[in-house]
Amino acid sequence: MSASTSRFAGASVLVTGAQGFIGSWLAERLLAEGARVVVPRRDAPSDSRFRLEGIEERCDVVDADVTDLAAMSRVLAEYEVGFVFHLAAQTIVGQANRSPLATFEANVRGTYTLLEACRREEGAVEGIVVASSDKAYGTSDDLPYREDHPLHASYPYDVSKACADLIARSFAETYAMPVAVTRLANVYGPGDLNLSRVVPGTARALVEGRRPVIRSDGTPRRDYLYAADAVEAYLAVAGSLDRPELRGRAWNAGPGEPVSVLDLVRRLVRISGRALEPDVQGDGVPVGEIGVQWLDASALRDELGWAPRWSLDAGLAEAWRWYERVPAPLRS
List the one residue out of 221, 245, 264 whose CA is nearest residue 304.
245
In percent, the amount of the chain with pLDDT more than 90 equals: 88
Query: What distance in Å separates the CA atoms of residue 260 and residue 218, rounded to the nearest whole number?
Result: 7
> Using only C-alpha atoms, what is the Rg of the chain?
19
What's the pLDDT score for residue 46?
Answer: 65
Closest CA to 84 of 11, 24, 159: 11
CA angle (156 as vertex; 153, 158 as ends), nearest 5: 40
The pLDDT value given to residue 331? 42
Dist CA 42 CA 38 (whole Å): 13
- HSE-up (13 A, CA, CB side) for residue 278: 25
Q: What is the pLDDT of residue 327?
A: 66
User: Rounded mean pLDDT of the chain?
Assistant: 94
> Given this model, what pLDDT does residue 328 score?
60
Helix ranges (DSSP H) in 192-311: 198-207, 227-239, 261-272, 298-304
Work out the pLDDT band at 6, boundaries 50, 70, 90: confident
The SS3 call for residue 234 is helix
CA distance linking residue 240 with residue 287, whole number of Å: 38
pLDDT at 174: 98
Residues 18-29 pLDDT 10s:
999 999 999 999
Tell me how far apart the alpha carbons of residues 93 and 99 are, in angstroms, rounded to a whole number. 10
Residue 173 contacts residue 248 (beta carbons within 8 Å) = yes
Q: Looking at residue 283, what is its pLDDT?
A: 86
Mean pLDDT of 159-177: 98
pLDDT tens per residue, range 43-52: 766 688 999 9
Is residue 139 within 8 Å of residue 220, measured between CB atoms? no
Please state the domain extents for the chain: 6-190+225-256+293-308
Q: What is the pLDDT of residues 228-275, one digit of tens each?
A: 999 999 999 999 999 999 999 999 999 999 999 999 999 999 999 999
* Angle, CA of 209, 214 and 220, to the nearest 5°: 145
Residue 288 confidence class, pLDDT cut points 50, 70, 90: confident
Active site residue 157: yes
CATH architecture label of 6-190+225-256+293-308: 3-Layer(aba) Sandwich (3.40)
H-only helix segments in the chain: 21-33, 49-52, 69-78, 93-98, 100-104, 110-120, 156-175, 198-207, 227-239, 261-272, 298-304, 312-325
CA nearest neighbour of 294 among 256, 251, 242: 256
Q: Which residue among 157, 188, 226, 323 is the active-site one?
A: 157
Give the Å distances, CA to CA, from 283 to 72, 88, 215, 217.
Answer: 45, 32, 8, 5
What does residue 178 show for φ and ψ, rounded to 5 degrees? -80, 75
Closest CA relative to residue 253, chosen from 135, 134, 171, 152: 134
pLDDT tier at 4 (50, 70, 90 boundaries)?
A: very low
Q: Where are the alpha helices (DSSP H) in 176-297?
A: 198-207, 227-239, 261-272
Of the candidates 103, 47, 40, which has an alpha carbon nearest to the alpha carbon of residue 72?
A: 40
Q: pLDDT digits over 93-137, tens only? A: 888 889 999 999 999 999 999 999 999 999 999 999 999 999 999
Question: Which of 77, 47, 82, 75 minimizes the C-alpha distance to 61?
Answer: 75
